[in-house]
Amino acid sequence: LNGAAPDAVAPELANVAGEALRARGRRDEAEALFARAAQTRVPDALQARLNHAVSLWDRGVRDEALRIFDSFIDTYNDGSARSADELAAVGSAVRYLGLGDPALFRDAVRAYEEAARLDAQHAESRILAGELFLEKYNSTEAQALFREVLAVNPRHPAALLGMARAKAFDGTDEALALVDSSLAVNPHAVAARVFRARVLLGLERYDSAAADVRRALDVNPASL
């Protein structure tokens, strides 16, 4: 991917390549790939459309991002979202719309639940729903969803991170061990590194927190 133009990447790989570049802080290149994939008929075109909108949102192009997020409602209503991945993408788009209309958060949860019913092994929909519940201060529901994922895969890094966040929200001392377990699976996960740094700051372990921040920035120099 080094220096490759978006058009040089096969359409079937454009969204995945964009996600990889975004994780490394190469946001402009990632956005171009998302935009390209979203205009094709590849299986993950809807996820690419979501990624494109999130990219626009993150750099402040909010009106255009909201227009794209809003289009996911039509996608849901006309039955175009058929797979668990597509329903989860709808849920995430509606989650952004919920920032302007909190009543829509329930619709986001409903889309995640439909994805989970459609595919009993679809971990991402449960994790996304758990993160949303935690964002809305409902640690009990969040932990139940993270546990569902961990019952199938005890080493799922995103579920372990979600559980760590929930335990930190509850004020227990389990958060550090859980995030350490997540990082043992994926030591390059920026979100987990940043969360671990926050936990260490709370414990006044400032040097260790700074080391985690540096490791996160080594992976993604653009991480806010």
Task: Please write the tens of the pLDDT for every residue from 54-78.
Answer: 999 999 999 999 999 999 999 999 9
Residue 7, pLDDT > 90, answer no
Count Cβ atoms below 10 Å from residue 58 Cβ, excluding itself: 15
pTM for the full model? 0.91
How does 197-208 read in b/e, with b if 16+ C-beta sit within 10 Å?
Answer: bbbbeeeeeeee
Query: pLDDT averaged over the chain?
Result: 95
The pLDDT score that the predictor gives to residue 2 is: 61
pLDDT digits (tens, 9 = 90+) for 183-212: 999 999 999 999 999 999 999 999 999 999
Residues in the chain: 224
Residue 150, pLDDT > 80, answer yes
Q: Residue 8: pLDDT band by 50, 70, 90 thresholds?
A: confident
In eight-state DSSP terms, residue 81 is -
The pLDDT score that the predictor gives to residue 3 is: 56
| Cα 114 from Cα 111, distance rounded (Å) | 5
Q: Identify the sign of the CA torsion 139, 144, 149, 153.
A: positive
